[in-house]
Amino acid sequence: MKGIIRNQKVRNFHQAKWDEPIIFELHQEGERGVIPPHAEQDITESVGDGVSVLPEALQRKADPKLPEISQNRVLRHYLRLSQETLGAAFNVEIGQGTCTMKYSPKINEVYAASPKVTALHPKQDDATVQGMLEVIHNLDLYMREISGMDYFSFQPGSGTQSLFAMASIVRAYHEANGEADQRDEIITTIFSHPSQAATAAVKGYKIITLYPDEDGFPDIDKLKAAVSERTAGFVVANPEDTGIYNAKIKEFTKIVHDAGGICYYDQANANGLLGITRAKEAGFDMCFFNLHKTFSTPHACGGPAAGALGVTDQLKPFLPGPIVEKDGDTYTLNDDLEHSIGKVRSYHGVPQNILRAYAWIRALGAKGLKQVAETAVLNNNYLYHEILKIKGAGAPYIKGKRLEQVRYSWEKLYQDTGVTTEDISRRMADFGHQYWTSHHPFVVPQPFTLEPTESYSKTDLDEYIASLTHIANEAYTDPEKVKSAPYNSSIHAVVDQSPFEDPNKWAVTWRAYLKKTKASN
Q: How far is the CB of 3 from another protein (least distance, A)?
A: 27
User: Other C-beta atoms within 10 Å of 296: how many?
Assistant: 25
Q: How far is the CB of 369 from another protein (least distance, A)?
A: 7
377-412 burial, b for 16+ CB within 10 Å, e for fewer? bebbbebbebbeebebbbbbbeeeebbbbbbbbbbe
Q: How far is the CB of 1 from another protein (least distance, A)?
A: 32
Nearer to another protein, 67 or 317 (CB): 67
Q: How far is the CB of 305 from another protein (least distance, A)?
A: 4
DSSP string, 334-400: E---TT----SSSTTS-HHHHHHHHHHHHHHHHHHHHHHHHHHHHHHHHHHHHHTTSTT-B--S--S
| Alpha carbon of residue 7 to chain centroid | 36
Nearer to another protein, 89 or 415 (CB): 89
Nearer to another protein, 139 or 227 (CB): 139
Residues 395 and 381 sit within 8 Å (Cβ to Cβ): no
165-179 burial, b for 16+ CB within 10 Å, e for fewer? bbbbbbbbbbeeeee
Nearer to another protein, 135 or 472 (CB): 135
Q: Say how many CA atoms lie within 13 Å of 376 toward its Cβ.
A: 33
Sort 163 into a burial class: Cβ within 10 Å, 0-12 / 13-18 / 19+: buried
For strands 262-267 and 206-210, give the pairing.
unpaired
Q: How far is the CB of 201 from another protein (least distance, A)?
A: 4
Q: How far is the CB of 5 from another protein (least distance, A)?
A: 26
Nearer to another protein, 3 or 55 (CB): 55
Report how far residue 33's alpha carbon sits from residue 41's, in angstroms, rounded to the nearest whole number. 24
Q: How far is the CB of 419 from another protein (least distance, A)?
A: 16
Q: Which residues are registered as beta bridge partners of 210?
A: 189
Nearer to another protein, 8 or 459 (CB): 459
Nearer to another protein, 59 or 228 (CB): 59
Q: How far is the CB of 492 from another protein (least distance, A)?
A: 4
Residue 256 dihedral angles phi and psi, to the nearest 5°: -70, -45
Three-state SS at 186 = strand
Residues 31 and 70 sit within 8 Å (Cβ to Cβ): yes
Nearer to another protein, 2 or 60 (CB): 60
Nearer to another protein, 2 or 121 (CB): 121
**The dihedral sign for the CA sequence 86, 89, 92, 94:** positive
Nearer to another protein, 412 or 505 (CB): 505
Report how far residue 311's alpha carbon sits from residue 260's, in angstroms, rounded to the nearest whole number. 17
Q: How far is the CB of 121 from another protein (least distance, A)?
A: 4
Q: How far is the CB of 4 from another protein (least distance, A)?
A: 26
Nearer to another protein, 7 or 346 (CB): 346
Q: How far is the CB of 425 from another protein (least distance, A)?
A: 6
Of the candidates 310, 298, 301, which has an alpha carbon nearest to the alpha carbon of residue 356?
A: 298
Nearer to another protein, 47 or 225 (CB): 47
Report how far residue 516's alpha carbon sits from residue 521's, in angstroms, rounded to the nearest whole number. 10
210: part of which helix (H) or strand (E)?
Answer: strand 206-210
Report how far residue 479's alpha carbon sits from residue 469's, in angstroms, rounded to the nearest whole number. 14
Q: Which residues contact 269 (CB under 8 A, 6 or more apart)?
A: 98, 99, 100, 237, 290, 293, 294, 404, 405, 451
Q: How far is the CB of 295 from another protein (least distance, A)?
A: 12
Nearer to another protein, 125 or 221 (CB): 125
Report how far residue 223's alpha carbon sits from residue 242's, in angstroms, rounded to the nearest whole number. 19
Q: How far is the CB of 368 from another protein (least distance, A)?
A: 5
Three-state SS at 481 = helix
